[in-house]
Amino acid sequence: MSSSIVQRKTYTTLDLMKFVMALAIMFAHICSENVTVHPILKLLTSVYNFGVPFFFACSGYLFFLKLKNTDVKDYTSVYKKFTKRILLMYLVWSCIYFCFVLTNWIQDGASVEDVLRYFHKAIVFTTYGTIWFLPSLWIGVSITFFLLYRNIKVAKIVLIAVVFYIIGSFGFSYLPLSEGTFAGKIYQVYNDIFVTSRNGIFAGFPFVAIGALLAFKGVKKKSTFNLVMTLLFGSLFILEAVFIKNKMNTNVDMGFFLVPSIYFLMSWLIQFNLPTNPIYIRLRNLSMLIFLGQRLFITAIPSVLPISYMDVITKNNYVGLFIFVGVTITFALLIEQFSKKYKWLNVLW
């Protein structure tokens, strides 16, 4: 079997999982912010915590797999194309969401402090919720790329990245452990300046580095082993998340067991081949559109509509859930379809 066929099947498997994770993230956001559903259903949507780390690792894997198959003299060109694509995508989505931010300022009024706070967050973190993934992905890929460019071995980069992740976790999910200490004061100052440690340096870089490791070194263990390890560490993360929510805070997104969970999940998916089919390419496109565009319907548009409109939509929570999910997926389908004719829409995903 040629390497190109293996690569296409790897892409196919990852594309399917990206779509599943995008749906999980969307369902979780709707169930926590727009509607009230049965606790068991809300618990099931908690799988979304694996979503963003998986997106980082998957994007890192695909980027560095491409780099691996590129002549060394073209490395910089590949990186520049990636940078242009990600930053342009982020700029366009930021402009779209800022339209709603500006409308809110006009409708409800905004103090100088409100405006300064928005632009401060826009500079150090993100212009709008969820799309923080894009600049964080770029930062994660950039750090990994430049360390590799300086001939630092990828395994050592992962070790460095894991240390960064641990530091970031103590400034996020495990922040209460440092309260009242000198370290706690440092984290407080850092979060005052940079908003959160769940960013490209501490959250994006580690998972991108995992993707790079798998791209350059491949998968060493058998598929069954990787599946068992995925289930084991995934279960341990769930227990850790329960501990964090009961003893720390509600921010479980930087639990320690997420790191091995994503490593073994990626390893298993890389080995698990599916027959090639054009539908998976569509799912990949839709996953990014759902992931980046969901906030339009979950947060942005509702923020400029009269509350009475939203009350009608969510009068029945499950009907409301169906509406939010339906319009988000319909939006993604329409953009993906129209992109075939209007190429400029490709910048959205």
33 belongs to a structural domain: yes
Quote helix, strand, coil % in the chain, to nearest 5: 80, 0, 20
Q: From CA 28, how far away is CA 347, in angstroms rounded? A: 26
Strands (E) located in the chain:
none
Token readout for 310 is 């939203």
pLDDT of residue 7: 52
pLDDT of residue 44: 72
Q: From CA 61, how far away is CA 136, in angstroms rounded? A: 15
302 belongs to a structural domain: yes
Q: From CA 279, how far away is CA 340, in angstroms rounded? A: 15
Q: Which residues contact 215 (CB under 8 A, 6 or more apart)?
A: 60, 61, 62, 63, 64, 65, 67, 68
Token readout for 188 is 């407080």
Q: Using alpha carbons, list the distances in angstroms from residue 227 to 129, 172, 288, 299, 326.
A: 32, 29, 26, 36, 32
pLDDT of residue 334: 96
Token readout for 127 is 């212009």
pLDDT of residue 30: 93
Q: From CA 138, how far away is CA 140, in angstroms rounded? A: 5
348 belongs to a structural domain: yes
342 belongs to a structural domain: yes
Residue with tokens 């998972």: 207
Spell out, as residue ranges, where the chain has pLDDT lower than 70. Answer: 1-10
Q: From CA 118, how far away is CA 40, in angstroms rounded? A: 35
Q: What does the DSSP assignment read for 186-218?
A: HHHHHHHHHS-SSSIIIIIHHHHHHHHHHHHH-
Model confidence pLDDT, tens digit, residues 87-108 = 999 999 999 999 999 999 999 9
270 belongs to a structural domain: no
347 belongs to a structural domain: yes
Q: Using alpha carbons, list the distances in angstroms from residue 57 to 82, 87, 208, 289.
A: 15, 19, 5, 18
Q: From CA 245, how far away is CA 239, in angstroms rounded? A: 10
Q: 3: domain range?
A: 1-37+279-349
Number of structural domains found in the chain? 1
Across 109-128, b (16+ Cβ under 10 Å) vs e yields eeeeeeeeebeebeeebbbb
pLDDT of residue 63: 95
Q: From CA 223, how far away is CA 179, in angstroms rounded? A: 42
227 belongs to a structural domain: no
Q: From CA 93, how far away is CA 64, in angstroms rounded? A: 25
331 belongs to a structural domain: yes
Q: From CA 140, how far away is CA 125, in angstroms rounded? A: 13
pLDDT of residue 189: 95
